[in-house]
Structure 1
Amino acid sequence: MSDIVVYVRSQPQLGDQIVAFATLYQLKAWWPERRLKVVARDDVGHIYRGLPWVDEFLRARSLLDYARSLTGRTQVSVNLHHSSERFGLINLLRPPAIRMGFRNARISDLVWTHCHRKDESEYIGLANLRLLATYRPLDAEHVARRCFAELARPHRHNPRGSDVVFLPGGGSGPFKRWSLAHYLRLADSLKTLLGADTRYTFVLGRQEARERAELDALRRGDIDVAYCRPLSELSALMLRARLVVANDCGPSHVAQAVGVPYVGVFNQPNPEWFWRRRGAVEVVPREPRAGINAIRPEQVLHACTRALSRTRPMPA
């Protein structure tokens, strides 16, 4: 039995789930005594069960599973799906007192007690928090940073850290991967901006085993590799960074949430996955069909300079 039920998006990718973390954090901050359950279609329970503000995870394999996820005890339902009528129907079967969802010119718009208009030009993580803000005002940037600071708490005394964190992954395929050679050229150029003693960490996952081998072979003392590290450790690493440069990949959403200077390298404009905040700059190919590796390191260096110059002091 759960007092708060959150329906997360039906997408198996890590990034699609990370953008819901701050929403879950804020719900638990508002109602710490209530049990919070996450419901998903996909097998993503391993992502949510380790979060300190999630009490239960349910994988819903059928409409009946979804219908049973709401009980007489449920007081709050938060629906992070953007377009499915299914969740409006589910909330009508046993309506909680508070029903939050996205408004998108569908019949289900009438179900919600609190709603936020779906806008495909709005970063998804921000849209989720703006949905919560229709119930009670909040500062989305501060909530996101506090969320990942809490997640990083087990590593707060770990001295590991670097000036610059690079995220060269892209689980969807090579079209999202700015090359390792470009990142290394950028690293050398950043020393003129940040100092000769600048240190770098490359965050890599299993799909970047080749990149790991190439970096290990370089034996550069200014480069560290964080390979297959948990999100709690990556959160701590990025909170300590002076700058993060990332492809469009799952851990990039941690970097965007912690609020440090951030440069996103995209194969094309993708506003739903880029948080347009102070200190964040996106880089895309100058020619739409040129591909991500048509972006030159000099362009990204310029974006890094802009990101660093626009950043405001971060709260503790």
Structure 2
Amino acid sequence: MKNIAVFVPHRDQFGNITTQLPMLCALREEYPSAEITLYSKTDNSSLLASCGVADHVVNYSSWSTRALLSHVNSKKFEQVYNVYSGSERIHCVVMLSNAKKKYGFSNSKWVHRFGNYDHHIFTQKGKQYIALNNLELVNQVSQKQYDTTIIEKYGSLTEMKPNNVVVLPGGGAGAFKVWDIENYCEVVSELDKQFNGQGQYAFTFVLGPDEAEKQQVIEKQLAGYDNVYIAQSPNITDLIALASKASLVLSNDCGPCHIFQMLKAPMIMVWGWQEIKNGWRSPYHVLTEWYLAHDASWCVFPAEDKKNINAIVPEQVTDIATTYLAKQSL
């Protein structure tokens, strides 16, 4: 049985954690019986173990470098993968470890030239969608071409509604990422009016544990709709199952959206500008790392002179959704 360690990035946000899924799924595919240990600085990485792509999570956030190296060496790993690319400390730990094989990527020319990795990818930050960076390391080592959709096999067996339009109205990183829930309700109402003469679509809103106010708005604004549902705090495997069956996804830039992006669900994402001290920061600079484009994906931005996400009117999203769903009905 192989014993594999993976050092994952330090961010504890749900979206960042889920972008590690394809890489870990690919490792599971390569080594079905392996023991996979995640080294992380956040307990939230346990979400990955809970869906079966890792066996153990070691939180080393309070450890010294010496203690961390000692722990890694005590496990005598056959392989170590380092996708915590920006940490010189972790690169040193991995390179000094007694693991038989060491793999990693970074934008460090020093590590690339002088590091004792068995395979190291030199890549500039912001080159591509973050999950693809992680997955590329496993692909190069295994000489395979795994795709982000590999996560589909980890979906729950919960039966999901067919012809389901999924709405992801979250945005924990700030109000600048949140298109108002009233707007989403208006889009759902209009789509229902256009397509549900024959009861064609169901609509599922995915809400987190701190979104009770949004639920109240949904229940008020869409009262009487028997095809509107709320999925309250679904876990990763349920989100994968929802994404696998979705006819269309309407979404803010939020944590759960990455599961839907990686499964290449048909998707309309709404973006806004962030107001900062001396002006505005555009959303365009984050797209390379945090948006996975595919043949059925669209972005909606506010006009340059307006910038605020809620300057986007529901008709802009409805028009795209209507066009796509009409084509699927032919």
Q: State the TM-score, normalizing by the size of structure 1.
A: 0.87
Partner of 2:149: 145
Q: Which runs of structure 2 are paired with 1:1-316 in the superposition (5 Å)?
A: 3-61=3-61, 62=63, 63-71=65-73, 73-110=76-113, 111=115, 112-116=117-121, 117-141=123-147, 144-147=148-151, 149-155=152-158, 158-191=159-192, 194-196=195-197, 197=199, 198-217=201-220, 218-219=222-223, 220-267=225-272, 268-269=283-284, 270-271=286-287, 272-287=289-304, 290-304=307-321
1:289 Cα deviation (Å)?
A: 6.1
The superposition leaves residues 53-103 of structure 1 with CA deviations (integer Å, 9 ceiling, x where unpaired) of 311110012223432342363122111223221122011211533322223
Amino acid at match of 1:282: C
Aligned residues of 1:203 and 1:226 also touching (Cα < 8 A): yes
The residue number in structure 2 matching 1:314 is: none
Give yes or no for contact 1:279–1:310 (8 Å, CA) kept in 2: no
How far apart are residue 161 of structure 1 and its match?
5.0
Q: Which moved more, 1:80-89 or 1:277-286?
A: 277-286
Contact 1:3 1:34 in 2 (8 A): yes
Determine the C-alpha separation between the residues in 2 that align with 1:74 and 1:251. Answer: 32
Unaligned runs of 5+ in 1: 312-316
The one-letter code matched in structure 2 to 1:145 is T
The structure-2 alpha-carbon separation of the partners of 1:276 and 1:210, relative to structure 1 and needing over 3 Å to count, comes to same
- Secondary structure at the aligned position of 1:183 is classed as helix
Aligned residues with identical type, % of pairs = 25
Distance 1:276 1:95, change over 3 A: farther
Q: Which amino acid aligns with 1:225?
A: I
- Residues 3, 78 of structure 2: 8 Å contact kept: yes
Note if contact 1:281-1:307 (Cα within 8 Å) is conserved in structure 2. Answer: no
Task: Decide whether the 8 Å contact of 2:21 with 2:53 is kept in 1.
Answer: no
Change (3 A) 1:21 1:139: same
Report Cα offsets for 1:185-209 as digits up to 9, x if no partner. 2223334765543221000012211
* Structure 2 residues without counterparts, runs of 5 or longer: 273-282
Give 1:300's aligned amino acid.
V
* Larger CA deviation: 132-141 vs 269-278: 132-141
Task: Output the amino acid matched with 1:7.
Answer: F
Q: 1:64 to 1:299 in 2, by over 3 A?
A: farther
**Secondary structure at the counterpart of residue 82 of structure 1:** coil
Instruction: Tell me which amino acid in the other structure corresponds to 1:128.
Output: N
Answer with 1 or 2: which has the greater Rg: 2
Could you tell me which amino acid in structure 2 is paired with residue 199 of structure 1? A
Q: How far did residue 278 of structure 1 move? A: 2.2
